[in-house]
Chains A and B, each alone.
Chain A
Amino acid sequence: EAQVTQNPRYLITVTGKKLTVTCSQNMNHEYMSWYRQDPGLGLRQIYYSMNVEVTDKGDVPEGYKVSRKEKRNFPLILESPSPNQTSLYFCASSSFGLAADTQYFGPGTRLTVL
């Protein structure tokens, strides 16, 4: 089954404790992206990647890191999480390296930073 998976689905952590949210897709997609969803703000793009070793900032990259060492994986790293990073996070992928293509979304990761 074609899908985007994220782990963990739920995470509660404390300020300053490094964490990684994994994202994996099995569709051989070139383009991958991370979003955060906050009430009243919709989805805001954090980082995106057009291919292996190619990443770029979205609208709200501060406090986040990403890497793209393999085509299928695009982990989101919070080196020192803070309470304002409490949010619902979505990973997405699309096939042609352009956001104009249909994006397939993962189920989301709900992160709480205390």
Chain B
Amino acid sequence: AQSVTQPDIHITVSEGASLELRCNYSYGATPYLFWYVQSPGQGLQLLLKYFSGDTLVQGIKGFEAEFKRSQSSFNLRKPSVHWSDAAEYFCAVNDNNNDMRFGAGTRLTVKP
């Protein structure tokens, strides 16, 4: 069965520093890959998604993610973090079977 692993439960970065959140998936073929963000007390919002083509995907709020087939990874990056980026981030996978698998989430804290 497909699964999603986010190895980091909690990450703290300083404002202005770069950010990388890790995501690994387990699936035989290339699934559809997503990153969602959840601000405190809010629902989830899509940051970006990968279906095919260019392995570097640009998203909203200055985020990008790179799909690496050889590593079964889809890591999220941002060159310079803002205090408003503090939130919980979820990687998700779908194999076109209409069910979604989410990782456990990574909580991001931004230090001033």
Chain B positions within 8 Å of A33 at CB level = 100
Min CB distance A22 to B, Å, is 15
Residues of A within 8 A of B42 (CB): 107-108
Q: Does B43 make an interface contact (CB < 8 A)?
A: yes
- The reply to whether B32 and A100 form a contact with Cβ atoms under 8 Å apart is yes
Report the bound CA distance from A113 to B6 in whole Å.
29
Bound-state CA distance A58–B49 (Å) is 21
Closest CB-CB distance, A63 to chain B, in whole Å?
18
Complex Cα gap A104–B32 (Å)? 16
Stretch at the interface among A11-19, A41-49, A79-87: A41-49
Beta-carbon contact of B99 and A90 below 8 Å: no
Count how many chain A residues have C-beta atoms less than 8 Å from C-beta atoms of the other chain: 27
Q: From residue B51, how far is it (CB to closest CB) to chain A in Å?
A: 7
Task: Identify which of A4, A41, A45, A108 contacts B99 (C-beta below 8 A).
Answer: A45
Query: Which of B66-74, B79-87, B101-109 interfaces with chain A?
Result: B101-109
In the bound complex, residues from chain A placing their C-beta under 8 Å from that of B96 are 98-100
B11 contacts the other chain (CB 8 A)? no
Instruction: Check if B43 sits within 8 Å of A106, measured CB to CB.
Output: yes
Q: How far is the CB of B37 from chain A (nearest CB, A)?
A: 11
Q: Is A103 an interface residue (CB 8 A)?
A: yes
A59 at interface, CB cutoff 8 A: yes
Is residue A50 within 8 Å, beta carbon to beta carbon, of the partner chain? yes
* Binary CB contact string for chain B from 24 to 43 against chain A (1 if under 8 A, 0 otherwise): 00000000100000000111
| Residues of chain B contacted by A42 (CB below 8 angstroms) | 4, 6, 90, 102-105
A sample of 16 inter-chain contacts (CB < 8 A) reads: A35-B102, A42-B103, A43-B92, A45-B99, A45-B100, A59-B99, A59-B101, A90-B44, A99-B32, A99-B97, A99-B99, A100-B51, A103-B44, A103-B100, A108-B42, A108-B43
Residues of chain B having any CB pair with chain A under 8 Å: 4, 6, 9, 32, 41-46, 49, 51, 90, 92, 94, 96-105
Interface residues of A (CB under 8 A from B): 4, 31, 33, 35, 40-45, 48, 50, 56, 58-59, 90, 92, 97-100, 102-103, 105-108
